Amino acid sequence: MSIKSIAARLFARQVVKKTQAWSSNPVATQNKVFQELIRQAKNTQFGLDHHFDQIQTPADFAQQVPVRDYEELKPYVERVVKGGENVLWKGKPLYFAKTSGTTSGAKYIPLTKESMPYHIEAARNAILHYIHETGNADFVDGKMIFLQGSPILEEKNGIKLGRLSGIVAHFVPKYLQKNRMPSWETNCIEDWETKVNAIVEETFNENMAVISGIPSWVQMYFEKLQQKGGKPVGEIFKNFNLFIYGGVNYEPYRAKFENLIGRKVDSIELFPASEGFFAYQDSQAAKGMLLLLNSGIFYEFIKSDEFSNENPRRYTIGEVELGVNYVLILSTNAGLWGYNIGDTVQFTSLQPYRVIVSGRIKHYISAFGEHVIGKEVESALQEAMEGTTIRVNEFTVAPQINPAEGLPYHEWFIEFENEPENLDEFALQIDIAMRKQNVYYDDLIMGNVLRPLVITKVPKNGFQDYMKSIGKLGGQNKIPRLSNDRKIADVLNPK
């Protein structure tokens, strides 16, 4: 046992103790965060416009500050981008995380000196919780790889900007620098395929112990490793035992990953975004991720089935229930206020508060009133695959409203690694699982409004080719699980 691994265990014990202190007092913790946010932003332009000096409680806040998405908050953000000070938060941001917007080009998400440390701390603490629970700290002596965007930053009116993962690369602690891969030069490669090829060459003969990234892009890395080495990744990297991921549900990928690796490895799920680091998996035994209530973010929750109402109720942490689908609303020490990030969550535990990401409020299918969400399609696919050799690389689902013949249906576009022997039977098993989860979908099938789902096979690398065609291959980009239209479907299967 190395000095480094002993130190990691001791540090992990301290961090877990601190976490237990705030997580056992969730309402008081969130109230303290709320009061501090209002106090610090009281004299900003946003605070003056929304009478922060009159806000005492979350109920006051909900009355004064409407829920906004990026487009609605954009007039304030544009003033910050142009160099304005004390607009959304005191002073100027340290960085802008530049992300792809859905309606008007790039989005600029501010990162401040108050918010930035929490991004780093949360990722670190997720690993420390794992060490504390399992006692496994040997991996700290091996190499670690984080598949991420380029750390090369641009500058706009004196503020540096880039992808969040590229910005975070500038904050890797010194004690990890020697262990961290890939090299700075490789990390700076913009073209994703070129970058992955370079990473394979750079890491192939290294003692890789921890691998981290979005599953779909780590999968590409693993496949290229396997092609080069002619054997499973777990044999190439004999000490690889921990996979850290975020951005998408790992379950649809798990069988494929275990096949690529050749054995099971532990995993830690993270819930990061440019707007904040919201949760991480704090236990290998418990379902869901610990919601970070002490990280400069005040959370509100709106039931997703009430979200389109004129004035939906905004719930605080002490008012949420298990198993309800909530739209996540944020107010942060980066200057986002009543901000709809677009993600939906469900609570799996209230002591402590743990969540799963159930989907996106804009990523759903309700072409016929069925209200299907991402968690449901992922769970249905997983259930249908259990006990089989079927493996899926990627998938997405869209409605087929006007078929050439017969009733409308949900069309599942699936890229298989191992295909089912009987595609129709597999489709039926997914459909049965969907009907068990979603009563509206079941009613539509029973009422002959919809017919059972149809699977359309996507050729090998079809999803990668699609992402490349729209300029979103690699990085933090990912395929939506659901679309309420056929924009993606018509590219994957033009007719």
Q: What is the pLDDT of residue 381?
A: 94
Q: Which amino acid is residue 254, in one-letter code?
A: R
- Whether the predicted pLDDT of 141 surpasses 80: yes
Average model confidence (pLDDT) across the chain? 90
DSSP-derived secondary structure for 144-184: EEE-------EEETTEEEE-HHHHHGGG--HHHHTTEES-H
Q: What is the pLDDT of residue 150?
A: 81
Here the tokens at position 230 are 């002619």
- Whether the predicted pLDDT of 476 surpasses 70: no
Residue 102 pLDDT grade (very low, low, confident, very high; cuts 50, 70, 90): very low
Residue 104 pLDDT grade (very low, low, confident, very high; cuts 50, 70, 90): very low
DSSP H or E run through 234: helix 233-236
Mean pLDDT of the 246-253 span: 74
Q: What is the pLDDT of residue 103?
A: 42
Here the tokens at position 100 are 């792809």
- The torsion angles phi and psi of 317, rounded to 5 degrees, stand at -60, -35
DSSP-derived secondary structure for 392-445: EEEEEEEEESS-SSSS-EEEEEEEEEE--S-HHHHHHHHHHHHHHH-HHHHHHH
Residue 367 pLDDT grade (very low, low, confident, very high; cuts 50, 70, 90): confident
Q: pTM for the whole thing?
A: 0.80
- Whether the predicted pLDDT of 100 surpasses 80: no
Q: What CA–CA distance (Å, rounded) separates 319 from 312?
A: 14
The percent of residues in the chain predicted with pLDDT above 70, rounded, is 95
- Is the pLDDT higher at 256 or at 330? 330
- 117 prior amide bond cis, ω within 30: no
- Whether the predicted pLDDT of 455 surpasses 50: yes
Q: What is the pLDDT of residue 263?
A: 94
Per-residue exposure over 182-204, b if at least 16 CB sit within 10 Å of its own CB, e if not: beeebbebeebeebbbbbbeebe
Tens-digit pLDDT profile for residues 303-352: 988 887 888 999 999 999 999 999 999 999 999 999 998 889 999 999 99
Q: Which residue has the tokens 């605070």?
A: 47
Tens-digit pLDDT profile for residues 372-389: 878 889 889 999 999 999
Q: What is the pLDDT of residue 99?
A: 76
Tens-digit pLDDT profile for residues 280-305: 999 999 999 999 999 999 999 999 88
